[in-house]
Amino acid sequence: MKTFRFYSFFALFLTALPILYAVPVEDKTSDEILSEVRISRIPKIIEVLEEMGLRAYEMEQLKEAKIHFQKALVLRQAIGMKQTEGSAHILTKVSAIESKLGNRCEASKLQRLAIRIYRQMGVNFGAVRLEEEPVKVSHLACAETISWLRD
């Protein structure tokens, strides 16, 4: 009887184990975050994603940094923070990453978008330092849209 109780407890524990394992919110996709997290918590998640992106960028883990920054941008857009200085700053960072990865078309588009946001806000470009010189690319060779960025 004791062994039956032990095995039933052990089976119950094994079935509950996946429930006990929690995936960090930052590791989920932006769509999962939007569907599972309260809107009031999203700005904090965006902040964490930006910090993770900066850390990865500083350690030259460019692809990882790009993923964190992209998630942060998509979340910013979803809660109405698309035309903000923070979004423009992230776009500038992602542009620098794309440039380092050799994706000049993507870098050029992101940089133009960041500049447009800064101008709409009336930011003085003497006070804002872009990461690199403007990326010069033949626009005929580039696709029209940025695939991961929503309108």
- CA distance linking residue 136 with residue 104, whole number of Å: 8
Tokens representing residue 85 in the block: 């200085």
Q: Give the per-residue pLDDT at 13.
A: 53
With contact defined as beta carbons under 8 Å apart, do 93 and 64 qualify? Answer: no
**116 in a structural domain:** yes
Q: Give the per-residue pLDDT at 98.
A: 93
- CA distance linking residue 27 with residue 45, whole number of Å: 11
**70 in a structural domain:** yes
- pLDDT mean values, one per 10 residues, the chain (151 residues): 57 51 71 85 92 94 94 91 88 92 90 88 64 51 60 49
Host domain of residue 31: 23-141
Q: Give the per-residue pLDDT at 73.
A: 93
Q: Give the per-residue pLDDT at 65.
A: 94
**16 in a structural domain:** no
**13 in a structural domain:** no
**1 in a structural domain:** no
State the CATH number of the domain containing residue 60. Answer: 1.25.40.10
What lies within 8 Å, CB to CB, of 124 at 6+ separation is none
Number of domains comprising the chain:
1
**7 in a structural domain:** no
